[in-house]
A and B are shown apart, each in its own frame.
Chain A
Amino acid sequence: MTSITLESLTKSYGKAGPTVVDGIDLEVEDGEFVVLLGPSGCGKTTTLRMIAGLEKATTGLIKFGDRIMNEVSGDRRNVGMVFQNYALYPHMSVADNLSFGLRSRGSTKEEASARVDEVLELLELSALKRRKPKELSGGQRQRVALGRALVGRPSVFLMDEPLSNLDANLREHMRIEIGKLHNTLGITTIYVTHDQGEAMTLADRIVVMNNGKIRQVAKPRDIYNSPADSFVAKFIGSPGMNLIDAELRKVDNFFRFGSGISIPSSSVRFLDHYVNERVTLGIRPELLTVIGSEGAVRFSGKISLVEQMGSQLQTYVRLDGSDHHQNFIAKLPPDTPVNIGDQITLYASTSDLRFFEVEGGPLISSAAGEKDSPSEYLVG
């Protein structure tokens, strides 16, 4: 096992080609489980492939421990990698898939067989060792892929969206399996996904990426509570944080946000610097209620759509006086009596509000007055 350090890592394709990874810095501790999370095309898979040695970095450094790995070929980095589509050798049995790497590295048949049996037992695949991949279910194939990555005792475990080909139930099951496996083996793991559920449940830390850059590195809870910028705020959560761009004015003891939202100025004094400027207000849909306490911020509007989700009602509201056409979403209890076309007032505590500079800008500060963001890495 080893720590991994990325320093100003960049990947560009050709002189005029796109820069898909743009000078990222990251430190992954020994035994840590780090998830690279971001939308498609954000550079997370390319980053993983550079760590694996399957892509050459254009500039920057990749270190395993203190050793610079840029010029070390993939087969000498001692990494185990799991691919999105399993990448099992279709013409080989499960046992042969696992032993191929060991035999390639010079293990004897007996050594390879013993090690393969050990890993198959760990993954409860012993009964399937003679089967070909096409005779396995999706979950079993994924376990074989995990086994193949583990069998060589890698010091780094890399996973590229390993669960994306599985159905929802199996994905959840395999997610738990991967979590358990990491707890058992403690191998330094970098896991790429665009599924925030996987990221939140598996990661020690999440790295949110967009357009080839790291937007935030933090623990799952901190990413959710204190997003570094409005991109992270919108990307994390399902649905993401409600974001409203409007001009901030001060009227008496209130900040007036746009034409309809008033916030007591005593609780958000840090906004004084932004009076008469446009800022982005954010509030998570699950923190909105239909019953408000004194001092709560009100959001009034007309209901445009109600989605029954079983455990909640996802309610889409067009805010009054809103100068934009964006829907404001609230997750309400499932028995809330709301209908399309109803006028509704939603309430949020000022401590749950987040403010960002406009156009994807960074977090101004939380309404709770936490001046220091818990995030280790903020862009901009």
Chain B
Amino acid sequence: MALKFSNQPTLANEIEPGMELEAARKLSRQRDFYFRVKEKLIGYGLILPAGAVFLVFFYIPAAYLLVISFFHWGILSPTTNFVGLKNFRTLFHQPLFWRSLLNSAYYTLVMIPATTLLALAIAMLLRDGMTSRRGGIWRAAVFLPHVTPVVATSIIWVWVFNPHFGFANYILNLLHLPALGWLESTTWALPAVMIDSLWHSLGLYVIIFLAGLSRVPRELLEVATLDGAKKYRIFRRIIWPLISPTTFFVVILSTVNTWQAFSQIYTMTGGAHGGAGGPAFSTTTDAVLIYQTAFTYLHFSLAAAMSFVLFFIILTLTMVQKWISDRIVFYR
């Protein structure tokens, strides 16, 4: 981080007329060195508070996590034994781990396109009213769910999905569709969680898309209109390419968030009663399984190995997305 100081003194003033050329150059080099060191120190000093928080609460635990994944270690166990890759081998031989990976993949594969497309669609609808008072009210309404506590709203969603007197089945009934078991069904429990997650997270992505859309110059849309392009063509050929960096950011963010989704699944599938991930493990995702392994079965080293695998999956997905984005995302 290089800071520039407008009041930085010029070296020429300190080089006296009678000074030898070599001495003057040496003085100049020394002064340059001191200024560079000073700039660096100030720069690092400014990022130190945030860096310290990151180090203590992120990097050190992450490193510790990797270390304990190679040990047999329980919170109540007096001894800690190095077991090498045994935890990973155990993991890969557990059907439930593979089930949790499949559940996470299903959850992510549905959530990413649903979140991205819905958020973009809502942002496009809200875009025209960006500066109006009514537009502000709509934006607030869309963003509001994101700032509500996940656990509290998930409890409300449990009521919505109650198979006997819930609002979801009431709507299905109005549409002459058969009632569903929702959270009591192995088929519909995860989709129910997805609806809650979508409702909760959409606001954030809408705001990000609105920011991206606001950066598309109005003149480009006007020129396209005068060029005779219809709305879909303007979106497909002008808006979509120009907001591709925003779309890429939303996809990355939603990938990370959905792979790590925990609170809503835990709350909606009976975590409070010790039965999260049900019915019949149909909502047991990676994050839920990691939590249960660590805090229900107190097998911390196995949970650490799972976390490391989850980290590796998210990293790989992000790298793949980055590779794709380098070929299709347009950066101005």
Contact = CB atoms under 8 A, between A and B. Distances in A.
B270 interface: no
Given A54-B225, A101-B228, A104-B230, A87 B242 contact: no
Contact of B242 (A73, A75, A91): A91
B241 interface: yes
B222 A89 contact: no
A220 interface: no
B227 interface: yes
B229 A83 contact: no
B217 A52 contact: no
A79 B217 contact: no
Contacts of A212: none
B237 interface: yes
A22 B217 CA distance: 28
27 contacts: A52-B226, A53-B226, A54-B222, A73-B225, A74-B222, A74-B226, A75-B228, A79-B226, A83-B222, A83-B223, A85-B217, A85-B219, A87-B217, A87-B219, A87-B220, A87-B223, A89-B220, A89-B238, A90-B242, A90-B330, A104-B224, A104-B228, A104-B230, A104-B233, A134-B332, A148-B223, A152-B227
A75 B223 contact: no
A105 interface: yes
Given A75-B227, A90-B242, A152-B227, A100 B222 contact: no
A81 B226 contact: yes
Contacts of B230: 104
Contacts of A87: 217, 219-220, 222-223
A100 B237 contact: yes
Contacts of A104: 224, 227-230, 233
Chain B interface mostly helix, strand, loop or mixed? helix
Contacts of A53: 226
Nearest to B221: A87
Nearest to B227: A101
Interface string A342-380: 000000000000000000000000000000000000000
A75 B219 contact: no
Interface in B172-230: 217, 219-220, 222-230
Contacts of B224: 89, 100, 104
Contacts of B241: 91
Interface string B218-259: 011011111111100100011001100000000000000000
B203 to A, nearest CB: 29
Interface in A287-317: none
A349 to B, nearest CB: 48
B233 to A, nearest CB: 6
A75 B222 CA distance: 10
A292 to B, nearest CB: 52
Find the residue from B223, B228, B229, B233 having the highest chain A CB count within 10 A. B223
Contacts of A75: 225-229
A63 to B, nearest CB: 19
A335 to B, nearest CB: 38
A100 B230 CA distance: 12
A87 B222 CA distance: 9
Interface string A102-144: 0011000000000000000000000000000010000000000
Interface in B248-280: none
A20 B176 CA distance: 56
A90 B238 CA distance: 9
Contacts of B229: 75, 100-101, 104
Contact of B225 (A74, A80, A89, A105): A74
A91 B229 CA distance: 17
A105 B228 contact: yes
A264 to B, nearest CB: 56
A90 B220 CA distance: 9
A376 B233 CA distance: 45
Nearest to B233: A104
B104 to A, nearest CB: 35
Interface string B307-332: 00000000000000000000000101
B242 A83 contact: no
A188 to B, nearest CB: 16
A85 B226 CA distance: 16
Contacts of A79: 226
A341 B245 CA distance: 63
A148 to B, nearest CB: 7
A148 B238 CA distance: 15
Nearest to A82: B223
A104 B230 CA distance: 8
Which of A53, A54, A101, A104 has the most chain B CB atoms closer than 10 A to its own CB? Answer: A104
Interface string A59-77: 0000000000000011100
A89 B219 CA distance: 10
A296 to B, nearest CB: 52
B246 to A, nearest CB: 14
B227 to A, nearest CB: 3
